[in-house]
Amino acid sequence: MFAVSPLRQAGGLGRQVLAHAENYSKDVLHVQKIEMSVIWSRKELIDWYLRRGFVRTGRTFPFPYEQLADDASAVTEDLHFEVLEKMLV
């Protein structure tokens, strides 16, 4: 999991972190495929991953509302994650 501060976005940092993670996964861990889970409503973030070679799998899984802190609340009740994947070979 990684995130880039909104103040640092659009400067290439996310692209660098993702490239390092992909290279490490492939070269050191010998992974052939990676998955990325993105909250479905983050269309611009999903598009960002699609432009970097990820594809939609059609799989989803629920948002873990029960893991939110006692005093935290989700903005919306319809959240779930969309699963993307990318082949590294």
Confidence at residue 86, expressed as pLDDT on a 0 to 100 scale = 97
Encode the chain (89 residues) as per-residue pLDDT tens digits: 778 888 888 888 889 999 999 999 999 999 999 999 999 999 999 999 999 999 999 999 998 887 776 666 666 778 899 999 999 98
Q: What are phi and psi of 60, to 5 degrees?
A: -140, 165
Confidence at residue 70, expressed as pLDDT on a 0 to 100 scale = 65
Q: Quote the tokens at residue 24.
A: 């490490």
Q: Quote the tokens at residue 47.
A: 């598009």
3-state secondary structure of 63: coil
Confidence at residue 14, expressed as pLDDT on a 0 to 100 scale = 86
> Do 86 and 53 contact (CB within 8 A), yes or no?
yes
37's enclosing H/E stretch is: strand 33-39
Confidence at residue 64, expressed as pLDDT on a 0 to 100 scale = 83
